[in-house]
Amino acid sequence: MSAKTVPAGTVVEAAGLVVWRTGTGGTEVVTIHRPALHDWVLPKGHIEAGELPPEAAYREFAEETGHRAVAARPVAVVDYPVGNTTKRVHWWVGRLLDEAGHDPANPREVDAVVWRPVADALATLTYADERRVLTSALALGATRTMLIVRHAKTVKPDVWGKSDVSRPLTGRGERQAGQLAHVLEAYGVGALSYATAVRCHQTVQPYAEKRHIDPQPVPALEDANATADPAGLVKATRQLRDDVLKTATPLAVCGHAPHLVAMAKAVGQNDIGAAPMKPAETLVLHLDPSGLPRAWERYRSLL
């Protein structure tokens, strides 16, 4: 949350959520007041070491407002000068989970949290770039979130010497799975599926235990089955997509590297970037009500 001294020319990365609710008079946007700067802003803060941008946005929103919201559709990445440095802020629409009623974590940094009607928020926000971000966020259509994850680092077949489906994660893979849990939390994942191999189950297990979710195996996504029956993979992936649309619950599915592109294409995402997905890397798809992806993101594990 607090600024740190950095060398001139540094790009300081930050992240934030644009969150609104339906109040008695219509849509209301959450704004915060920072006493040290005497300004009104949208909740945001610095990305800490070991964090990915959506993790920081999720954490900072809770710290600065006392409420809980998760990342939904990305809005913009905004650069602006701060002294001799550049501030780069990653913005998402935020989906409000609850208004916990807690105070901001540090009253010296945030001393007021106010829900304002849209026109009032636009008139009150101190900085033009945040007014533009708010306007852009409000103009975006509603989306649902589906995450496709490559399993974490796994013991090599020649080292394991047993059946492929039973190969477990390495120590590094277990650490990657632990870090992945923070990414899934930032998007509010409430349902988990996985190809039936042990390594896929172990990749989602830390988050499953944290959130008390029962991960569901999907045999059609298992490597041998997907290779033998690509149509079955497509059908299973589309069923998961349909579940997301029906329940509005963000879902993460863990699969195998050779089939991740096919899974993305099955739900209409033909471009996921040129580079193959690395262990524990996550593809985040933002689906419109018809199921078509309207935005996508990729995040490599930092471990």
Taking only the tens place, the pLDDT of each residue in 24-37 is 889 999 999 999 99
Q: What is the CATH number of domain 144-299?
A: 3.40.50.1240
Q: Which helix (H) or strand (E) holds 132?
A: helix 128-139
Longest dimension (CA), the chain: 66
3-class DSSP string for 165-197: HHCCECHHHHHHHHHHHHHHHHCCCCEEEECCC
Residue 64: name the closest of 107, 99, 27, 20 by CA: 107
User: What is the residue whose two structure tokens read 């790009």?
Assistant: 11
Which pLDDT tens digit goes with each residue over 180-195?
999 999 999 999 999 9
Give the separation between CA 147 and CA 48, rounded to whole angstroms: 23
Q: What is the pLDDT of residue 2?
A: 45
Mean pLDDT of the chain: 95
Q: Which helix (H) or strand (E) holds 33?
A: strand 26-34
- The arithmetic mean of pLDDT across residues 42-70, rounded, is 97
Which pLDDT tens digit goes with each residue over 93-140?
999 998 766 778 888 899 999 999 999 999 999 999 999 999 999 999
Question: Cβ atoms within 10 A of the Cβ of 15, count?
Answer: 28
Percent of the chain with pLDDT over 70: 97
Q: What is the CATH number of domain 11-139?
A: 3.90.79.10
- The arithmetic mean of pLDDT across residues 226-250, rounded, is 98
Phi, psi of 250 (to 5 degrees): -60, 135
Give the separation between CA 148 and CA 195, rounded to whole angstroms: 11
- Look at residue 46 and tell me whether its pLDDT is greater than 50: yes
Domain(s) labelled CATH 3.40.50.1240 in the chain stretch across 144-299
Q: What is the pLDDT of residue 1?
A: 45
Domain(s) labelled CATH 3.90.79.10 in the chain stretch across 11-139
pLDDT band at residue 4, thresholds of 50, 70 and 90? low
